[in-house]
């Protein structure tokens, strides 16, 4: 006979990946009970609520990778979800712009990826078309990506939370519940939190910046560690904001999993530029001087971090300088928009990326989801995981159907 438990599945993390996973499992298996445990008072308090709000097209990602497979599908599902649920969402389109000759091979690589990933409507464009689309942007060549859009991912997360509770009997979204450990039993796990101990037959870890720690608590030898990279944004003043119609991106450096500082018109009409990518001494630290001893120790006692630093010290140093100098940050923006002046930008928000790094010091590029006895762990879900969340959720739901006994 099955053990009496509080929930069939406990999902740890009320970011968009945990919520989309619970939503999909709930839809595919309406008879089971699911709890989302989120340590903060509000859902989407970390990466999900502090990102660029861009619905990515799917053209950057290596063909055949999990990112490529889930981004295009996830994007379409996300746009349909937003429409169905009256969440403002705008398919603005974007341009990727090369400003120097040496960027052209990478621009072409991105274009070819886009074709292989079947991203609809992409087009190579020249300097005149760049100006037609974004009159204040200067570039020597570019790609027009009509299917990129914008949305407020916090609104999407909140709606998912509502639907999880309203559509499933016994489902709960429990905020202010910080998971601190597990007590393993034969047929269930006791999940220890600051509020209560809850029993569950299965666990799904979607803890973002803390996912490696939750995995360790469950005895998973992940072979990676989360290394946090803060991204600072500036905001364009209302007047300067008129210079940006949609989204303007630079050509990404393929050595890094970051897309480079870009101009983003947000769903509320404001225009952000950023984010940079600097090592953060605190996983959930959003100010430049934030420090946490445990987080710093975990990152700096890990050989992978030092190997990463050694390999990319020049890039890292440049990013650090730009983080503390508005002048240098502006100079980077002026590559895409030469007429921009210091008075046009004001400090904005910041986010911290959970970037998994291997022991060899290489940032793990693709999404990583692993199964461990009666649990599933999402160990790497960087950008475009917000865009891809519903497709990642479907994948996790399929894994749960395969590995968990969801009938009894």
Contact positions toward ligand FAD, by CB under 6 A?
12-18, 37-40, 45-48, 50-54, 56, 178-179, 206-210, 214, 231, 275, 351-353, 381-387
Minimal distance in Å, beta carbon 55 to ligand FAD? 7
Minimal distance in Å, beta carbon 343 to ligand FAD? 25
Beta carbon nearer to ligand FAD, 39 or 158? 39
Minimal distance in Å, beta carbon 405 to ligand FAD? 25
Beta carbon nearer to ligand FAD, 139 or 384? 384
Minimal distance in Å, beta carbon 397 to ligand FAD? 15
Beta carbon nearer to ligand FAD, 33 or 51? 51
Beta carbon nearer to ligand FAD, 141 or 173? 173
Minimal distance in Å, beta carbon 158 to ligand FAD? 12
Beta carbon nearer to ligand FAD, 129 or 305? 305
Minimal distance in Å, beta carbon 258 to ligand FAD? 9
Counted residue by residue, the chain has a size of 408
- Shortest-Cβ-distance residue relative to ligand FAD: 15
């Amino acid at each position: 006979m099955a053990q009496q438990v509080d929930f069939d599945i406990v999902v740890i993390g009320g970011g968009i990946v945990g919520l989309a996973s619970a939503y999909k499992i709930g839809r595919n298996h309406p008879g089971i009970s699911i709890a989302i445990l989120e340590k903060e008072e509000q859902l989407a308090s970390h990466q999900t609520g502090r990102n660029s709000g861009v619905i990515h097209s799917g053209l950057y990602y290596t063909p055949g990778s999990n990112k490529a497979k889930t981004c295009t599908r996830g994007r379409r599902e996300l746009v349909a979800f937003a429409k169905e649920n009256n969440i403002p969402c705008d398919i603005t389109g974007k341009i990727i712009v090369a400003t120097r000759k040496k960027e052209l091979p990478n621009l072409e690589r991105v274009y070819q990826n886009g074709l292989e990933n079947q991203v609809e409507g992409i087009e190579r464009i020249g300097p005149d078309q760049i100006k037609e689309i974004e009159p204040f942007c200067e570039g020597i060549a570019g790609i027009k990506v009509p299917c990129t859009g914008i949305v407020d991912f916090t609104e999407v997360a909140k709606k998912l939370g509502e639907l999880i509770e309203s559509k499933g009997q016994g489902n709960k979204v429990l905020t202010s519940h910080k998971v601190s450990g597990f007590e393993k039993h034969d047929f269930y796990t006791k999940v220890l939190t600051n509020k209560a101990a809850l029993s569950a037959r299965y666990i799904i870890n979607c803890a973002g910046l803390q996912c490696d720690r939750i995995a360790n608590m469950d005895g998973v030898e992940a072979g990676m560690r989360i290394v946090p990279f803060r991204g600072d944004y500036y905001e364009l003043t209302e007047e300067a904001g008129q210079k940006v119609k949609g989204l303007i991106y630079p050509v990404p450096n393929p050595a890094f999993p970051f897309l480079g500082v870009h101009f983003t018109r947000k769903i509320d009409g404001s225009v952000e530029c950023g984010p940079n990518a600097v090592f953060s001494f605190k996983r959930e630290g959003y100010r430049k001087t934030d420090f946490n001893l445990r987080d710093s120790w975990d990152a700096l006692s890990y050989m992978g971090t030092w190997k990463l630093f050694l390999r990319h010290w020049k890039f890292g140093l440049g990013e650090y300088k730009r983080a503390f100098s508005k002048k240098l940050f502006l100079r980077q923006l002026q590559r895409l928009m030469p007429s921009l002046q210091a008075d046009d930008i004001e400090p904005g928000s910041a986010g911290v990326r959970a970037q998994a790094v291997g022991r060899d010091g290489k940032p793990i590029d693709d999404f990583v989801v692993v199964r461990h006895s009666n649990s599933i762990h999402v160990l790497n879900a960087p950008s475009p995981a917000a865009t891809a969340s519903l497709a990642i959720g479907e994948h996790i739901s399929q894994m749960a159907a395969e590995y968990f006994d969801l009938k009894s």
